[in-house]
Amino acid sequence: MLKSLNDKGYNTLAINTPSFKQIIFIINLAAPIALTMVSNILFYTIISFLATSLGPVTLAAHQVMMGLYILCTTWGEPLAQTAQCFMPAHICGVDRNLQKARDLLKSLMKIGIIVGFTPGCCAISVPWFFPQIFTKDLGIIAQMRLVSVPFLFSLMITPPTLSLEGTLLAVRDLHARMLAASVCKDASHFGLQGSWWMLAAFQWTRFFQAYSRLHSSRSVLANPPLSHDEGSLLQVA
């Protein structure tokens, strides 16, 4: 790689000190993303902490379901990466075409719904039909089954949310990604199921926040504004 850069005329060993304006630009770009990632990780950590306070059986069930959840959410990451790769050209590029950008977002949303719902159904079938893969403890299995519904509600909306947030990130609309997660300190009174319903509410809040940002009259996709026939961003083309 270094040789390839040298062949193109770049000095790979040159070290330049960034200017103050460049530092401010990097901070403005990276700080909201970093804050969003930290808030998401903090939210998941708090949920795990609440599960820990409920005893070893509940914690074991939570760890199994959280492992399945993280495994399934990775299926939505390519949607965000696709939006980040192709949206800038359609929205800000030389061949600017907002209709193609809206069509791409519709396609990503449809794929996201399928990618979220299908693995979600497969994942919640594990505690009901194949719990022996992880444990034979009846108490842990019961707790795993208890959170099946909020698990599905959380997972099914995550890939569409990643599509929307990937589009916002592609056009550097970073403010909508700064989501404050409000966690009630008494949530442990509702048990493991209450913690997972909190996660579901968190994911749906992210979705509606990103959707409203892209669907507003000031959205980059609505300039020129959507016509009456085009309707919603989620309307079937």
pLDDT at 234 over 50: no
Q: 102-150: per-residue pLDDT in tens?
A: 888 888 888 888 888 888 888 888 889 888 888 888 888 888 888 889 8
pTM over 0.75: no
Return the pLDDT at 237: 39
Q: Which residue, among 5, 149, 173, has the nearest Cα to 65 in the 3D structure?
A: 149
Measure Cα distances from 196 to 84, 128, 143, 176, 214 in Å.
Answer: 30, 17, 12, 24, 27
pLDDT digits (tens, 9 = 90+) for 67-96: 888 888 888 888 888 887 887 777 776 677
- CB 87, CB 171: distance < 8 Å: yes
Integer Cα distance of 115 and 113 in angstroms: 6
Burial of 85 (0-12, 13-18, 19+ CB in 10 A): exposed
In this predicted structure, the answer to whether residue 226 has a pLDDT above a threshold of 70 is: no
Q: Tell me the three-class secondary structure of 109-134, residue by residue.
A: HHHHHHHHHHHHHHHHHHHHHCHHHC
Reported confidence tier of residue 236, pLDDT bands at 50, 70, 90:
very low
Q: Is 230 helix (H, G, I), strand (E, B) or coil?
A: coil
Mean pLDDT of 176-182: 47
Confidence of residue 165 (pLDDT cuts 50, 70, 90): confident
- Dist. CA 196–CA 59, nearest whole Å: 12
Supply the pLDDT for residue 91: 74
Q: How high is the pLDDT of residue 189?
A: 59
